[in-house]
Homo-oligomer: A and B are copies of this chain.
Amino acid sequence: MSETEIREPIQKRSIETKDKIIKAGFDLICHDGYYNTNTSKIAKKAGVSTGIVYQYFKDKRDIFLSGLNKYADDIFYPMFNIPNINFTKDNLANIFKNMIQKYISNHKLSAIAHEEITAMTHSDKDVASHFHKKEMEMTNKISNILINNNFNTPNIKEKVHIVMGLIDNLCHEIVYHKHKELDYNIMTDLVIDEIVHILTIKD
């Protein structure tokens, strides 16, 4: 109604304040869920007043979206954020094994955030499209790395996408589910076998 102007911070202090809010809000939402996080908690955690929040953000959702923008790369497939990976036939399995271990040893936050974001996917078109885009970006990025390392193969994007899913499922299972009937060491080896298989088949 009153169309409160959203301020784009210029001064350093303002920028810091905005960042603090994004971090506080995103952390809380990823931890407790979107609906269990209220603006007052966010403001408190950020060390600011509730009022100021609405000078930097349109609404609560806007905070979350900003966090998504800012931190998504750390959350989605952070294991691929390694510069200068050198894939060879010999180290392919090892590289993926390391990635998986790295992902798992990462703090749980990522996993929870991932779920929360997934959950918002169908209730919020913007979240969905953001998520969507990031996923494809990552697929492309990895495909390119592979190509640059002479791992070109037909339908590489489809394959990489499947691989990403395999890793994601595995890590999620290990971090979260803990089905006692399953042996996660064996499962990890099986997944790596699959990854190697799919990336090396010639059709």
Q: Which residues of A contact B (CB under 8 A)?
A: 1-2, 5, 32-36, 38, 40, 112, 115-116, 118-123, 132, 135-136, 139-140, 155, 157-159, 161-162, 165-166, 168-170, 173, 176-177, 179, 181-183, 186-187, 190-191, 193-194, 197-198, 201
- C-alpha gap A140/B182 in the complex (Å): 11
State the Cβ distance, A42 to closest chain B Cβ, in Å. 13
State the Cβ distance, A7 to closest chain B Cβ, in Å. 10
Q: Are A182 and B157 in contact (CB under 8 A)?
A: yes
- C-alpha gap A31/B191 in the complex (Å): 33
Of B33, B35, B140, B182, which one neighbours A161 at CB under 8 angstroms? B182
State the Cβ distance, A146 to closest chain B Cβ, in Å. 15
In the assembled complex, which residues on chain B have CB atoms less than 8 Å from the CB atom of A165?
165-166, 169-170, 173
**What does DSSP make chain A's interface, helix, strand, loop or mixed?**
helix
In the assembled complex, which residues on chain B have CB atoms less than 8 Å from the CB atom of A132?
177, 179
State the Cβ distance, A181 to closest chain B Cβ, in Å. 6
State the Cβ distance, A68 to closest chain B Cβ, in Å. 15
Q: Are A161 and B173 in contact (CB under 8 A)?
A: yes
In the assembled complex, which residues on chain B have CB atoms less than 8 Å from the CB atom of A194?
162, 194, 197-198
State the Cβ distance, A165 to closest chain B Cβ, in Å. 4
Q: Are A123 and B36 in contact (CB under 8 A)?
A: yes
- C-alpha gap A133/B140 in the complex (Å): 36
- C-alpha gap A201/B190 in the complex (Å): 10
Q: List 16 A-B contacts (CB under 8 A).
A: A1-B36, A2-B38, A33-B119, A33-B122, A33-B123, A118-B119, A119-B120, A121-B176, A136-B181, A155-B187, A155-B190, A162-B166, A165-B166, A166-B166, A194-B198, A197-B197
- C-alpha gap A5/B36 in the complex (Å): 14
- C-alpha gap A194/B169 in the complex (Å): 15
- C-alpha gap A139/B179 in the complex (Å): 11
In the assembled complex, which residues on chain B have CB atoms less than 8 Å from the CB atom of A162?
166, 169-170, 187, 190-191, 194
